[in-house]
């Protein structure tokens, strides 16, 4: 089976490419490098011992993407390409609506034209907004708090309409919780092109001395220690979830949470990181971040029952592998 992977040189995409190649899928990767680097290709080659075709193109560029469909018979697409920085999406909403929506529309038009109506889409736990009940199941109410989240919610709606219009489509929508960690080789990991906003990439910059101190956004939440609680999942477990999702692409429209079901606080993450890596992460408590929620974690039982998905790696593995990626790339 040949899988078109958009955004395949990014954080989650690159780990998924490794899983796909290691499991004998053929892949064709498309990425415009807005948030990734060409060196990721060599590193995927090194880890897997396999090569694959790569196109440095924008998924929104229909003519360029159509050439990929002409060059390769695509059986299914996994659509990672998109922008994901929440803060920037508030400042530049149109940039987010344009890239995230248009790339999905163009991709679906071509999947339709080339009669390959099978898609796995990267959604996010952000579509649950501020949870009313925890843990979150797939049928919890949807609601967003920022333009990035709204792009994901609109795309989910668009894909649902597409499926209603033509039930030959088969679509799996994966709602990721908080992926952290890196491949055990230390060759690929979370390597954003700009200053990170998310917790783990920020911890890595502080631990390595590139940034002086981590700001903890609020210690007065209604949680065990007052800091925000999230469902952190090892990126390799998340990547493997995509392989399981491919098995579901026979017909239908499905939604799955990919998380562990366990909530950890910001202080849990810092303390575990310091302990397993023997390195200090200086921090200070500051005001809450606008739009943040106290707690968010998944009920992963639907993915477990229907996909056979189970996150295998624990928080220590996540913290060790994230730091290993930094050490190997200093």
- What positions carry a catalytic annotation? 148
Judged by beta carbon, residue 59 or residue 204, the one nearer ligand NAD is 59
What are 151's two structure tokens? 């792009």
Given the rule CB under 6 A, which of 9-17, 154-162, 219-227, 249-257 is the region that contacts ligand NAD? 9-17
Task: Identify the residue among 77, 216, 245, 315 touching ligand UD1 (CB under 6 A).
Answer: 216
Q: Which of 201, 195, 220 is nearest to 288 (CA)?
A: 220
131, 229 Cβ separation under 8 angstroms? no
Q: Which of 187, 205, 181 is nearest to 195 (CA)?
A: 205
Taking the CA atoms of residue 106, residue 73, residue 241 and residue 231 in that order, the dihedral angle to the nearest 10 degrees is: -20
Judged by beta carbon, residue 6 or residue 227, the one nearer ligand NAD is 6
Q: Count of CB atoms within 10 A of residue 223's CB? A: 18
Site string for ligand UD1, 195-214 (x = CB under 6 A): --xxx--x-----------x
Judged by beta carbon, residue 48 or residue 226, the one nearer ligand NAD is 48
Site string for ligand NAD, 119-148 (x = CB under 6 A): ---x-x------------------------
- Tell me if 118 contacts ligand NAD by CB under 6 A: no
SS3 call for 219:
coil
What are 265's two structure tokens? 């606080």
Q: Which does 129 bind (CB under 5 to 8 A by kind): ligand NAD, ligand UD1, none?
A: none
Q: In whole angstroms, give the CA distance from residue 260 to residue 265.
A: 14
Kindly list the residues in this chain that would bind ligand NAD in the complex (CB under 6 A): 6-7, 9-13, 30-36, 58-60, 80-82, 84, 99, 103, 122, 124, 176, 178-179
């Amino acid at each position: 089976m040949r899988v078109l992977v958009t955004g395949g040189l990014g954080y989650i995409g690159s780990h998924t490419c490794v899983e796909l190649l290691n499991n004998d899928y053929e892949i064709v990767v498309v990425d415009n490098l807005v948030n990734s680097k060409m060196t990721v290709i060599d590193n995927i080659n090194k880890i897997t011992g396999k090569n694959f075709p790569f196109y440095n193109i924008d998924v929104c560029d229909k003519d360029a993407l159509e050439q990929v469909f002409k060059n390769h018979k695509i059986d299914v697409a996994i659509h990672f390409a998109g922008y994901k920085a929440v803060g920037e999406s508030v400042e530049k909403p149109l940039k987010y609506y344009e890239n995230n929506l248009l790339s999905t529309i163009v991709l679906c038009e071509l999947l339709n034209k080339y009669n390959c109506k099978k898609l796995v889409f990267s959604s996010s736990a952000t579509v649950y907004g501020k949870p009313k009940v925890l843990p979150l199941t797939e049928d919890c109410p949807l609601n967003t708090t920022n333009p990035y989240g709204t792009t994901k919610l609109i795309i989910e709606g668009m894909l649902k309409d597409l499926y209603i219009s033509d039930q030959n489509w088969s679509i799996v929508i994966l709602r990721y919780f908080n992926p952290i960690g890196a491949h055990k080789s230390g060759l690929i990991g979370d390597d954003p092109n700009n200053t990170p906003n998310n917790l783990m990439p920020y911890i890595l910059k502080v631990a390595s001395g590139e940034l002086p101190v981590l700001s903890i956004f609020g210690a007065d939440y209604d949680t065990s220690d007052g800091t925000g609680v999230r469902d952190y999942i090892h990126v390799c477990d998340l990547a493997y979830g995509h392989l399981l999702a491919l098995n579901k692409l026979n017909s239908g429209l499905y939604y799955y949470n990919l998380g562990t079901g366990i909530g950890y606080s910001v202080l849990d993450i810092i303390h575990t990181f310091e302990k397993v890596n023997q390195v200090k992460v200086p921090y200070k408590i500051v005001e809450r971040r606008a739009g943040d929620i106290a707690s968010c974690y998944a009920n992963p039982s639907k993915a477990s029952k229907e996909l056979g998905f189970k996150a295998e790696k624990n928080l220590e593995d996540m913290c060790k592998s994230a730091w290993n990626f930094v050490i190997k790339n200093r």
